[in-house]
């Protein structure tokens, strides 16, 4: 229990010459300040705990996915390290991530228990769970292009976290685009780029301009780094959110240009 506000309010009431009544009012106002400060402190502590759980689960599950076919290849290890590099983790964070990745590869690792803990930590925070799946897809694509048991396990993980098959497909499409620049260089298959751009926004060519703008704004809100951070996404993962936001913007700009949208 905090008392700073109460004490300061009471003293201020007396100093200003309002007597006992003023002191009482000061204590009351100070109490409200203390309650607010405690709530803020509690939220910050809770967010930090969520961030730690998120970070730990991210690399443990990544290690488990890499071992899905019975062995972890050099390419899958390189893919995991690539994610760590892309996230711009510090040296200490990289060491922790490697330890968690190694734990996830072990036969005794309990994937279902890990996902259950993550679900509890991210209760009421669906956007965090989506980012978690995005990071797994990102590593799996670079590791073995989502082939064989990895894809099946990833579908199961997404389902356990409440993501539909359609959402998973949209995530995969968006991350496959990451290696490409829309419409560049000249002569590339822009039709394929456009198809993937629609998938990134979760819309189809038959949707109206208005629906596309609404989907674009929804995706921006879903991936906004500040919003995700407020929901517990650790700072170490914010780089991913920034990159995803940029992909959404690029997808919309391509669609807007091809359709001649004025918005």
The string of pLDDT tens digits covering residues 146-175 is 999 999 999 999 999 999 998 898 888 778
What is the pLDDT at residue 74? 95
For every residue of 132-182, which 3-state class applies, written as one string? HHHHHHHHHHHHHCCCCHHHHHHHHHHHHCCCCHHHHHHHHHHHHHCCCEC
- Nearest C-alpha neighbor of 48 from the set 2, 56, 129: 56
CA angle 170, 84, 237 (to 5 degrees): 60
Tell me the pLDDT band of 60, cut-offs 50, 70 and 90: very high
Residue 184, strand partner residues? 181
What is the pLDDT at residue 179? 53
Residue of higher predicted confidence among 208 and 46:
208
What is the pLDDT at residue 45? 44
Prediction pTM value: 0.68
Which value, to the nearest 10 degrees, does the dihedral of the CA atoms of residues 214, 217, 232, 242 take? 140
Tens of pLDDT, residue by residue over 100-127, are: 999 999 999 999 999 999 999 888 888 8
Tens of pLDDT, residue by residue over 192-248, are: 778 888 888 888 899 999 999 998 898 888 877 777 777 677 777 777 778 888 888
Helix axis angle, 19-66 relative to 74-86, nearest 10°?
160
What is the pLDDT at residue 40? 44
Residue 187 has pLDDT above 70, yes or no: no
Tens of pLDDT, residue by residue over 10-40, are: 444 444 444 455 444 444 554 455 444 444 4
**How many CA atoms lie less than 13 Å away from 210 in the CB half-sphere?**
0
Share of the chain above pLDDT 90, in %: 39
Tracing tokens 């679900």 back to the chain, one arrives at: 119
What is the pLDDT at residue 39? 45
What length is written for the chain? 263
Mean pLDDT of 131-135: 92
Tell me the pLDDT band of 178, cut-offs 50, 70 and 90: low
What is the pLDDT at residue 199? 82
What is the pLDDT at residue 5? 42
Residue 42 has pLDDT above 70, yes or no: no
State the first-to-last Cα distance of the chain, in angstroms, to the nearest integer: 52
Q: How many Å apart are CA 184 and CA 181, to the nearest integer? A: 5
For the chain, the domains span: 4-43, 177-263
Let me know: does 261 contact 200? Beta carbons within 8 Å.
no
| Other CB atoms within 10 Å distance of the CB of residue 119 | 14
Task: Classify 184 as helix, strand or coil.
Answer: strand
């Amino acid at each position: 229990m905090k008392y700073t506000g109460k004490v300061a309010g009471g003293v201020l009431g007396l100093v200003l010459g309002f007597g006992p009544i003023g002191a009482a009012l000061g204590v009351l106002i100070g109490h409200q300040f203390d309650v607010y400060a405690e709530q803020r402190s509690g939220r910050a502590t809770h967010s930090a705990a969520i961030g730690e759980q998120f970070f730990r689960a991210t690399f443990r599950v990544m290690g488990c996915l890499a071992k899905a076919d019975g062995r972890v290849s050099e390419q899958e290890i390189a893919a995991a390290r690539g994610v760590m590099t892309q996230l711009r983790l510090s040296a200490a964070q990289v060491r922790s991530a490697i330890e968690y990745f190694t734990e996830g590869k072990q036969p005794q690792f309990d994937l279902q228990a890990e996902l259950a803990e993550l679900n509890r930590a991210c209760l009421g925070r669906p956007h965090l769970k989506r980012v978690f799946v995005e990071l797994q897809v990102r590593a799996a694509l670079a590791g073995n292009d989502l082939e064989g048991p990895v894809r099946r396990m990833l579908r199961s993980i997404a389902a356990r976290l409440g993501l539909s098959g359609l959402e998973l497909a949209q995530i995969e499409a968006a991350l496959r685009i990451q290696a490409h620049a829309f419409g560049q260089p000249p002569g590339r298959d822009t039709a394929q780029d456009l198809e993937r751009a629609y998938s990134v926004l979760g819309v189809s060519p038959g949707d109206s301009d208005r629906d596309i703008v609404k989907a674009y704004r929804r995706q921006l809100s879903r991936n906004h780094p500040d919003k995700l951070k407020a929901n517990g996404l650790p700072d170490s993962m914010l780089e991913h959110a920034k990159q995803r936001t940029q992909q959404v913007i690029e997808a919309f700009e391509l669609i807007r240009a091809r359709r001649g949208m004025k918005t």
